[in-house]
Amino acid sequence: MSSNVVVTGGAGFLGSNLCQKLLDEGSNVICIDNFYTGRESNISNLLDNDRFELINHDIRDEIELDSSLKIDEIYNLACPASPPHYQQDPVYTFETSVLGVRNVLQLARKTSAKVLHASTSEIYGDPLVHPQPESYWGNVNPMGIRSCYDEGKRAAETMIFDYSQQYGVAAKLVRIFNTYGPKMRSDDGRVVSNFIVQALKGEDITVYGDGKQTRSFCYVDDLIDGIISVMNAGKVATPYNLGNPNEFTMIELAEKVLQLTSSNSKLVMKPLPKDDPKQRQPAIEKIKNELSWSPKVQLEDGLRMAISYFATEIS
């Protein structure tokens, strides 16, 4: 019998890719989203599928589903993830992380479903250890413009741990590093979508700071495979880094985008946002060894696929 799977944030970038993959694998999918950053267009091709249901709901409020329905798995992805989006209403972001995960865990407790929570590399803050293994506790400013997201996600991790220890909920956790690909909004505000859209439109490429800060970019298909393998076989209340360890400076990323789009756009330097992490690279030995997952798509190939998606998106 096919499993019943809830995906919160299912109309967002990662969530809509996850819903598609779960449907392809034969699951029944209930997508819960309040369209804060998500879009109906991300899931419009799923709405006709009779194994897909959309519930417009804010996970800061209690989640009540038909009690006769057996829920097998819950993926908790609902939360704005792009800095300009999560900084727009910091209290909302913090509440979505903390109250949202509490409501998801309550649902899991009631239904005995397994849960997977989408945490983030941001819990490492501006890391003093490089690359970042799961054992690193991080370097996070608790009172700054990124704190609503970083500390919200840290508190959510604590709640995952506590519900698993105190109530026996089978709660799993992935720490996702910068991911890009189809279904991102062209106005998402994160660096890959900004650079590609700017290059395609012939606008200036906005490099923040000196552009020497680094990130490691994972293509969405790899990421979704990783999330599903942690749900299926990962240990409870144990963080797994998920990302592609190939690390680039923002200047290198901009140059790759310019080359792949054959764009004449110019790089312009803009002020570095406060508390912007200087470096980031996932250590992925743990998930490699335990679950045999590693990313397959390298940056140039992933960027090519993302460029053709954004070209259609902005046309």
Binding site for ligand NAD (CB under 6 A): 8-9, 11-15, 33-38, 58-60, 77-81, 85, 96, 100, 118, 120, 176, 178-179
- Residue 60 or residue 130: which is nearer to ligand NAD going by CB? 60
Q: Which helix (H) or strand (E) holds 259?
A: helix 250-261
- Residue 153 or residue 190: which is nearer to ligand UDP going by CB? 190
Sign of the alpha-carbon dihedral angle for 295, 207, 80, 286: positive
Q: Give how far Cα 104 sits from Cα of 2, 5, 132, 136, 233, Å.
A: 21, 13, 28, 26, 20
| Binding of ligand UDP by 141 (CB under 6 A) | no
How large is the C-alpha radius of gyration of the chain?
A: 19
| Binding of ligand UDP by 218 (CB under 6 A) | no
Please tell me which residue in 36, 149, 180, 219 is annotated as part of the active site: 149
Site string for ligand UDP, 152-191 (x = CB under 6 A): --------------------------x-----------xx
Among 273, 288, 308, 311, binds ligand UDP (CB under 6 A): 273
Instruction: Give which of 30, 103, 16 is closest to 69, Cα–Cα.
Output: 30
The number of CA neighbours under 13 Å toward the Cβ of 257 is: 31
The number of residues making up the chain comes to 315
| 8 Å CB contact between 214 and 280 | yes
Q: Measure the CA–CA gap between 239 and 226, rounded to whole angstroms.
A: 13
Structure tokens at 191: 């660096």
Assess whether 136 carries a catalytic annotation. no
Q: Least Å distance between CB 39 and ligand NAD?
A: 7
- Residue 28 or residue 96: which is nearer to ligand NAD going by CB? 96
Q: Least Å distance between CB 266 and ligand NAD?
A: 27
Q: Least Å distance between CB 208 and ligand UDP?
A: 4
282 touches, from ligand NAD, ligand UDP, none (C-beta below 5 to 8 Å by class)? none
Q: Least Å distance between CB 79 and ligand NAD?
A: 4
Q: Which helix (H) or strand (E) holds 290?
A: helix 285-291
- Residue 114 or residue 190: which is nearer to ligand UDP going by CB? 190
Sign of the alpha-carbon dihedral angle for 153, 159, 164, 169: negative
Among 97, 194, 241, 263, binds ligand UDP (CB under 6 A): 194
Return the range that interacts with ligand UDP (CB under 6 A); candidates 1-9, 91-99, 101-109, 205-213: 205-213
Contacts of 22 (CB under 8 A, 6+ apart): 5, 7, 29, 228
Instruction: Work out the widest C-alpha separation in the chain, in whole angstroms.
Output: 58
- Residue 38 or residue 239: which is nearer to ligand NAD going by CB? 38
Structure tokens at 80: 């704005």
Structure tokens at 202: 């012939």
Q: Looking at the annotation, which residues are catalytic? A: 149
Binding residues for ligand UDP, per CB under 6 A?
83, 178, 190-191, 194, 206-208, 213, 215, 250, 272-273, 276
